[in-house]
């Protein structure tokens, strides 16, 4: 990577510049993502982690994740990482089949995917893998074979997403030229329902639409997004969120480094309106096993917002796509709007219909 040393120095400086943003909060998770982690040495990773500890209050047992692809995680590299504070790996497997990986233009092959997990599971207990479903021509038997391989490796967390076709990608070109079948939503739904059933048999909890974890292996990092907690993103393109505002850094590495060297934060800040905050809560809440609290909607946004939510969701309640469940305790009774199994696959579309425009 060009200017690697300068970038690492800039990351450390940004951590220092923004330390007051989390002054009264504990850092519970540290996540190395976005492709850079595979280029960092152990010393560089440790230097960045130490900078977090130096500038922030870190919880006693933080989740520290490194995101990488199988071609980056050789046996030697995994052994090296096991000697750092990294205690969780997020591995972009996508599929255990060669033809799928080629169609998605992945850098790794099927053999690397399996070898990577063979080594990783020897040194790490907390591993999440990505798997893609809804791939055209993928039979249910082939999808089951993908899942069985993940189960055999003893993986405790799976993030799984339907294949989407991004513009100007190799896959988009193949489909346009007729060299590859178009995306089939019915196939994706079949795969999704099978995924839900098979992971449940293995003891996974479907705690967010795309995430399945065994008890005590839910992603603390991603859960913080869905529960609206503050998070701080460091580096080019990184996004941050704090109560009523979100921000994102410039994506260009050189511009990022130049601004940080001037002790200037190269970010754009957006203040979220009350409707934006409500819409975001509905979107993230409906995607999770915890649902949307009607009491929270009323207390945070007002009675009119609660009425709006109840009125707009009535249609989906009648269709069996969402329901309202009550939770009783000694102090309070709370009601939650949640998607049913039938509604899970359609959740993003449902949520958008509940928004305040």
Does 182 or 230 have the greater pLDDT score?
A: 230
Contact 260, 249 (CB under 8 A): no
Per-chain mean pLDDT for the chain: 94
Confidence of residue 1 (pLDDT cuts 50, 70, 90): low
Average pLDDT over residues 70-79: 94
Reference 120, options 142, 151, 163, 90; nearest CA is 90
**pLDDT of res. 116:** 96
**Count of other CB atoms within 10 angstroms of residue 281:** 21
Contact 94, 131 (CB under 8 A): yes
Average pLDDT over residues 150-175: 89
**pLDDT of res. 198:** 98
Per-residue pLDDT of 280-338, as tens digits, reads 999 999 999 999 999 999 999 999 999 999 999 999 999 999 999 998 766 678 999 99
Comparing 62-66, 105-109, 174-178, the range with the smallest average pLDDT is 174-178
Question: Looking at the DSSP assignment, which residues form a beta bridge with residue 249?
Answer: 267
Comparing 45-49, 166-170, 282-286, the range with the smallest average pLDDT is 166-170
Furthest-apart CA pair in the chain: how many Å?
Answer: 63
**Count of other CB atoms within 10 angstroms of residue 34:** 12
pLDDT at 2 over 70: no
Distances (CA, A) of 149 to 95, 289, 295: 10, 26, 42
Equal fold, 26-226 vs 274-353:
no
**pLDDT of res. 36:** 57
Domain range 26-226, CATH architecture: 2-Layer Sandwich (3.30)
SS3 334: strand
**pLDDT of res. 67:** 95
Angle at alpha carbon of residue 41, lines to 35 and 45, rounded to 5°: 75
Whole-prediction pTM: 0.93
Q: How far apart are CA 344 and CA 95, in angstroms?
A: 23
Comparing 180-189, 237-246, 311-320, the range with the smallest average pLDDT is 180-189
pLDDT at 89 over 80: yes
pLDDT at 80 over 70: yes
Phi, psi of 350 (to 5 degrees): -65, -50
CATH 3.50.50.60 fits 274-353, yes or no: no
pLDDT at 171 over 80: no
The Cβ-side half-sphere exposure at 267, using a 13 Å CA radius, reads 22
Reference 355, options 293, 287, 273, 281; nearest CA is 281
Secondary structure element (H or E) that encloses residue 162, with its range = strand 157-162
Question: Distance of alpha carbon 188 from its chain centroid, rounded?
Answer: 19
Q: How far apart are CA 334 and CA 296, in angstroms?
A: 9
Q: How far apart are CA 256 and CA 265, in angstroms?
A: 8
The Cβ-side half-sphere exposure at 94, using a 13 Å CA radius, reads 24
Domain boundaries, the chain: 26-226, 274-353
Calculate Rg over the CA atoms of the chain.
22
**pLDDT of res. 165:** 80
Q: How far apart are CA 18 and CA 146, in angstroms?
A: 42
SS3 29: strand
The Cβ-side half-sphere exposure at 89, using a 13 Å CA radius, reads 28
**pLDDT of res. 23:** 83
Q: What does the DSSP assignment read for 200-256?
A: HHTT-EEEETTEEE-TT-S-HHHHHHHTT--B---STT-EEEETTEEEEE-S-HHHH
**Residue 61 corresponds to which tokens in the numbers above?**
């047992």
Comparing 34-38, 88-92, 225-229, 257-261, the range with the smallest average pLDDT is 34-38
Contact 15, 55 (CB under 8 A): yes
Per-residue pLDDT of 213-229, as tens digits, reads 999 999 999 999 888 89
Q: Pairing relation of β-strands 267-271 and 245-249?
A: antiparallel
């Amino acid at each position: 990577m060009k200017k690697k040393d300068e970038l690492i120095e800039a990351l450390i400086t940004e951590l220092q510049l923004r330390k007051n943003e989390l002054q009264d909060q504990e850092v519970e998770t540290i996540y190395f993502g976005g492709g850079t982690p595979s280029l960092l040495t152990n010393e560089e990773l440790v230097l960045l982690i130490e900078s977090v500890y130096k500038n922030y209050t870190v919880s006693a047992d933080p989740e520290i994740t490194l995101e990488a692809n199988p071609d980056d995680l050789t046996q030697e590299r995994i052994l090296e990482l096991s000697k750092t504070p990294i205690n969780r790996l997020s591995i972009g497997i996508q599929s255990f089949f060669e033809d799928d990986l080629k169609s998605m233009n992945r850098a790794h092959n099927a053999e690397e995917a399996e070898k990577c997990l063979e080594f990783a599971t020897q040194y790490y207990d907390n591993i999440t893998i990505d798997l893609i479903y809804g791939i055209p021509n993928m039979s249910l038997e082939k999808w089951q074979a993908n899942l069985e391989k993940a189960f055999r490796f003893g993986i405790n967390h799976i993030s799984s997403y339907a294949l989407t076709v991004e513009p100007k990608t190799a896959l988009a070109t193949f489909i346009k030229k007729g060299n590859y079948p178009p995306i089939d939503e019915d196939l994706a739904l079949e795969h999704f329902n099978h995924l839900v059933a098979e992971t449940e048999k293995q003891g996974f909890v479907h705690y967010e639409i795309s995430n399945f974890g065994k008890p005590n292996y839910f992603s603390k990092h991603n859960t913080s997004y869905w529960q609206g907690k503050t998070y701080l993103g460091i580096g080019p393109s990184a996004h941050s969120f704090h109560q009523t505002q979100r921000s994102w850094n410039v994506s260009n590495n050189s511009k990022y480094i130049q601004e940080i060297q001037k002790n200037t934060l190269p970010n754009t800040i957006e203040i979220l309106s009350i409707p934006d905050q409500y819409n975001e809560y509905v979107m993230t809440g409906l995607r999770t096993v915890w649902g949307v609290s009607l009491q929270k909607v009323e207390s945070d946004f007002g009675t009119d917002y609660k009425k709006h939510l109840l009125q707009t969701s009535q249609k989906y309640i009648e269709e069996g796509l969402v329901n309202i469940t009550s939770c009783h305790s000694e102090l309070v009774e709370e009601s939650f709007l949640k998607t049913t199994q039938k509604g899970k696959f359609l959740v993003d579309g449902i949520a958008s219909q509940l928004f305040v425009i």
